[in-house]
Structure 1
Amino acid sequence: MSIDTYAAAIAGIGLLILLVAWVPLVIRRMPLSLPMICMGLGVLLDLLLGPGVTMDFRAHPALTERLTELLVLISLTSAGLRIDERLPLRQWRATFLLLGVTMPLSIVTGALVGGSMLGLSLATALLLGAVLAPTDPVLAGDVQVGPPRSGPGGHARFTLTTEAGLNDGLAFPFVWFAIGAATYEGLGGDWTLGWLAYDVGWRIAAGCAAGWAVGWLLGWLTFRHPRRFHLAASRRGFVSLGITFLSYGVAELVHGYGFLAVFLAALMVRRTEQRYEHTFVHDLHQFTDQIEHLMMMGLLIIFGFNLTGGLLAPLTWSDMLVCLVLVVVVRPACGLVGLAVSGQGWREALVTSFFGVRGVGSFFYLAFGINHAGFADVERTWAIVSCTVAISIVLHGLLSTPVMDWLDRAVRAKRKQVAENDG
């Protein structure tokens, strides 16, 4: 008897939706994460279906770019809406150090590792360093702040959330730099000055300005406009998608970085909502959170399916060791260098440095780079990035619950001590 493909697909989607709701309840206090479970389900699915079925996302780089981009955009909106703390800019010092010191240092180190230890070409090594530098907003949820109005989550959670919200956009200039190196076959020349003025200067400024402007306008329309007309009265959670798409589209139209605009727009809307103590942000966040989890599960199941389906075939054991070094040595070391003058306590600095989760954003940037220039060793680069992401998912997934519980207890004890001293 033949299997009805359409009916099987519908049943699979239904099962996926139910798993999104059920799995987090089961693993809540376990040293496991939802991304780990999803990746494992993909591996199991590949073993059950056998070699006759393929879902190779490398064969469709344009589709991979758009799907991963959409997931990152929704995740950035969710991150911006979750931040409760109204801290002055000086309290963002650790975030700015991670963006201005740790990320460039990680990119340079990753490129050096790619060129010297992996034998990649200059342009491909630069691309590898750029795609593996950002902390992923999609897969880092277990170490970020909680839902809106859940209270302050501690300095480490705040820093990891804001870093993930901003560094995806700030990694773009370095990806464009790798594209330039591949296009012009080397460094130097007029294109580097154009890159500095346009890809670094203009596009960052335009993305930030577009995000601020759209966020301010939508905050006014949502919470400050005459009450019977403001958007909050609709109680429609899908308004969050409007925030996402409008801010992204406006930023891209003025040639700014849409990722920066989306996070800043969501943050501006959250700030306006806090002034009026409205509860509509819960509806917005709940909708983005549900869409994000659905898309993440689907994408990671496909990723797990590919892991045992030949995705890692180009790698040697020494390549895999280098991938492990990128996760457990390069990011933590670069993070500690950046946070050396941040004023964070040693616990927060260690946790913040270690939990630089790599994930969906790396897939997006790699697909984006490949779609915009001709890079050498494309299949091997996919394998290196995929192996690094898989190691990050497993290692950070196993450690996130016990480590963050340890840190949360330390933060609560410190706050209690400060309260007692003030009393």
Structure 2
Amino acid sequence: MTDTIPFGRLVLLAALVILLALLAGRLTARIKIPAPLLVLSAAAIGVQVIPSWDAPSEQTVERVVTLALVCILFDGGIGMGWSKFRRTAAPITVVGVVGTFLTVAGIGLFIHVAIGLSWYLALLVATAISPTDPAVVFSVLGQREISGRSGTILEGESGANDPVGIALMASLIAAGGVGAGAFAHIAGAFALQMGVGALVGAVSAYALAWFLRSVTLPSESLYPLRTTACAFIVFGVATVAHGSGFLAVFVAGILLGDVEGPHKREIVRFHSALASLAEVVAFLVLGLTVKLPELAHLDVWLPGVVIGIVLAVVVRPIAVALCLSRAGLGRAEQAFVMFAGLKGAVPILLGTFILSSHAPEAERLYGIVIVVVVVSVLVQGSFTPSVAERLGVTEPAS
């Protein structure tokens, strides 16, 4: 037990950061900087100046963030529910899947031509920075809610493009390059993960709906814990079956969202709180992997800034406009969805996949991904509230 005091100090520091992050909502409402970015920055600075804050291993980071994403995606699915999802199912699917591929292709082409990376490395970076995070959007909007269908599309898009981005990155890394044979392997692996994930999610939802309604527990406090355990079971089953556990969890959450059962309100509130905590933990752990000296290099921050701007003002708007051309959205709602594709924890997680793959220039590529996320959240995020007000797509929270 010789490390009791250092471990206690580490627990104290981590708990204080999490507590400050949870209380940061009041601060972010004024400065328009989402709490996750503050947590990421604090962790990145802390690991540089506090000796006891050693950066965790890449495997530990991936596992912790994976568990956090299961909580976030399951809560997102439950919060949306089937009745809400089906009204916007087509645009969510098109933007979340087709839009992700269009974004990867567009920004990958730009990175290859303008930055000079090989096609393979350009596609790795493009895949990493394609997923979006509506929680960051809602964080900068504060107490205002998004009216119409645009908010639902943003939530659904993230729930869809997170599994798509993760599966695509895993397939790219497994292929180890680009070419006719590699693309065939990538397509097959991607289709398998998406198909199995969706199937497991749908079948699990129906099985769990019966289980949650039929089996009672001795205490009401146990019901939220049971649904949490079920969410991780769904993830595990899909993953073992070579499917996307993230997609399975999201699909199961959507189908369970409208299922009535004992203590439903308490369960929903618990998962909402758990998802908020999971997001803070994810950014905290990811922040510990950020090497600030590496970000200071010109060949890291300059490409990151340029890529972030081009992605936000050119590539994503074009991709989303193509996907939503027949969605029947009003111009204001479509414009907001085109603009509000802010980045979050998943791009950084995918950046750690690049590190783990030991691809050429992996440290530099990871730094570029970090800079793109910071540019998206800090610059693009600061304009989101004013853009939403100008477009008239927000309303006071009820």
Aligned to 2:148: 154
Q: How does 1:252-331 map to 2 (within 5 A)?
A: 252-273=239-260, 278-299=264-285, 301-302=287-288, 306=290, 308-313=292-297, 314-315=299-300, 317-318=302-303, 320-331=305-316
CA contact (8 A) 2:33 2:381 kept: yes
Supply the distance in 1 between the matched residues of 2:218 and 2:209 (Cα, whole angstroms).
9
Percent identity over paired residues? 21
Supply the distance in 1 between the matched residues of 2:373 and 2:81 (Cα, whole angstroms).
29
- Which letter does structure 1 place at the counterpart of 2:19? L
Shift of the alpha carbon at 1:328? 3.0
Aligned to 1:19: 20
1:337-366 deviation per Cα after TM superposition (whole angstroms, max 9, x unaligned): 222222111111111111112221112223
1:2-57 deviation per Cα after TM superposition (whole angstroms, max 9, x unaligned): xx53343233133223213321134335523212322443465467x28x787556
Q: Does 1:359 align with 2:344?
A: yes
- Which letter does structure 2 place at the counterpart of 1:270? G
Q: Does 1:123 align with 2:109?
A: no
Please give the root-mean-square deviation of Cα atoms over the aligned residues, in Å.
3.4
Aligned to 1:417: none
Residue ranges of structure 1 left out of the alignment (5+ in a row): 414-423
Supply the distance in 2 between the matched residues of 1:145 and 1:36 (Cα, whole angstroms).
15
- Which letter does structure 2 place at the counterpart of 1:336? A
CA contact (8 A) 1:81 1:270 kept: yes
Match of 2:76 among 54, 57, 79: 79
CA contact (8 A) 1:38 1:300 kept: no
- Compare CA radii of gyration and give the structure with the larger one: 1
Q: Does 1:241 align with 2:228?
A: yes
Aligned to 1:376: 360
Q: Does 1:225 align with 2:214?
A: yes
CA contact (8 A) 2:171 2:190 kept: no
- Which letter does structure 1 place at the counterpart of 2:228? L
What secondary structure is seen at the aligned counterpart in 1 of 2:88? helix
Residue ranges of structure 2 left out of the alignment (5+ in a row): none
- Which letter does structure 2 place at the counterpart of 1:38? V
Shift of the alpha carbon at 1:88? 6.8
Shift of the alpha carbon at 1:276? 8.2
- Which letter does structure 1 place at the counterpart of 2:307? V
CA contact (8 A) 1:208 1:260 kept: yes
- With normalisation by structure 1, the TM-score equals 0.80
Supply the distance in 2 between the matched residues of 1:140 and 1:238 (Cα, whole angstroms).
28
C-alpha spacing 1:295/1:206, structure 2 compared with 1 (3 Å): same
Q: Which has the larger displacement, 172-181 or 230-239? A: 230-239
C-alpha spacing 1:322/1:287, structure 2 compared with 1 (3 Å): closer
CA contact (8 A) 1:243 1:266 kept: no
C-alpha spacing 1:346/1:397, structure 2 compared with 1 (3 Å): same
- Which letter does structure 2 place at the counterpart of 1:167? N
Match of 2:374 among 390, 414, 422: 390
- Which letter does structure 2 place at the counterpart of 1:188? A
